[in-house]
Amino acid sequence: MSGGETVLVTGGSGYIGGWCVAGLIQRGYVVRTTVRDLAKEPAVRAALGKIVDPGNRLSFYAANLTADDGWDAAVEGCDYLLHVASPLGVADPKDPNELIVPAREGAKRAVGAAIKAGVKRVVLTSSVAATNKGQQTSDWTSTEPADPRGDWVSDETIWTDPAARGVSAYAQSKTLAERAAWDTINRSDGKTTMATVNPALVLGPVTSGDFSESVQVVERLLSGRVPGLPRLGFNVVDVRDVADLHIRAMTDDKAAGERFIAAGQFAWMADLATLLRERLGSDAAKVPTRKVPDFVIRIAGLFDKDLGSVTPGLGHKHDYSSEKAQRMLGWKPRPLDETILDCARSLIAIGAV
Ligand code: NAP
């Protein structure tokens, strides 16, 4: 339990941010959260109310990643910062800076304000997109350089090279933001420490219709908004486990200065479809059964930006290891079935499919 310590969570209106706020309240912390627009407070409280009653232990602050205003006031007097907010984007925007600038400059603002306020520990939500093998930096010293198009397993020692060919704007934004945050911490006096959590594809229960882009994987399958099953696969991680890892990384002395991949089991789209059809009966009637050949997706990807961004991964198993978080912090990802079925049932319950 927390002894009433105060934590600032940035982006409490988001999927992971919301579950972090809930997890902290459940453990007895006093929580502040930033939103871009304070008019969102009632909707965020309503969504959160489905998980936990925050009583008088939750307050809201306005801050935008793209502006200096509000950050110092939000973090002053806090013991910890969970910096979760960052723009998401499956499809590449015309200008990568649309994602890169808010992510990187926002990370500098949030971490800089936390150092100034003397918080004990910052936990930054990075991504496995910042740990991609085959897109490594030139100072990466492993003896097994990987083909980005082949199968591989990655871990926290790997850094994506944001300048490498084929790296998405989102992967650039997460890598550059994480680098900027480490640089900011490393230049400070050392009193504030940092850890990062680098999640894979985050799924699990949603509490409102305004859900993260990652949830579209299950939403599109359930609503039949995909014509068939491409040979795409992901490491899935439960949003509740991602929140739990943030809190472990926040409080465990051993986590200072460390990156932690948050990833559960790898699954192909076809595995997810089979699971939904077998376990959800008529609720999964629209889930496709037909596999789509890679060439069809590649051609469609020429016209559809969302598809175009995923075609390089077709047929390849890009796996991420969370062995470090399990070994060092005692973290345990829950089984894939529970995550997928709870995600699907929550989408059905709110009428999103
Ligand atoms: P989400 O539900 O879309 O939440 C994103 C949050 O960031 C929202 O609270 C959003 O606030 C905030 N935000 C975006 N741009 C902002 C800006 N300019 N200023 C202030 N706040 C801003 O997405 P999520 O899945 O929870 O993602 C949260 C974090 O996890 C991100 O750092 C993301 O990169 C990382 N992550 C996600 C996944 C995944 O599969 N979902 C995987 C790996 C890493 P508004 O409500 O104002 O839009």
pLDDT mean over 312-332? 93
Predicted confidence at residue 28, as pLDDT, reads 97
- Domain ranges for the chain: 6-349
Read off the pLDDT band of 294 (50, 70, 90).
Answer: confident
Span of 13-22, 132-141, 252-261 with lowest mean pLDDT: 132-141
15 lines ligand 1 (CB under 6 A): yes
Q: Of residues 174, 286, 305, 317, which has the active-site annotation?
A: 174
Closest CA to 90 of 129, 147, 126: 129
Q: Which of 8, 15, 203 to mutate to test the pocket of ligand 1 (most atoms within 8 A of CB)?
A: 15
pLDDT of residue 353: 92
The DSSP element (H or E) to which 103 belongs, if any, is helix 97-117
**Whether the predicted pLDDT of 189 surpasses 90:** yes
Global confidence as pTM: 0.95
Q: State the pLDDT at residue 292.
A: 86
* Atom 2 of ligand 1, nearest CA residue: 14
| Mean pLDDT over the full length of the chain | 92
d(CA 7, CA 15): 17
Q: Give the model's pLDDT for residue 147.
A: 67
Quote the pLDDT of residue 165: 84
Query: Quick one: fold of 6-349?
Result: Rossmann fold (3.40.50)
pLDDT, tens digit, for every residue of 69-78? Answer: 999 999 999 9
Report the pLDDT value the prediction gives residue 248, as an integer from 0 to 100: 98
Who has greater pLDDT, 22 or 138?
22
β-bridge pairing 121-125 and 80-83: parallel
174 is an active site residue: yes
Q: Could you identify the atom of ligand 1 that is nearest to the CA of residue 37? A: 47
Gap between the Cα atoms of 8 and 181, Å rounded:
16
At 126 the pLDDT is 98
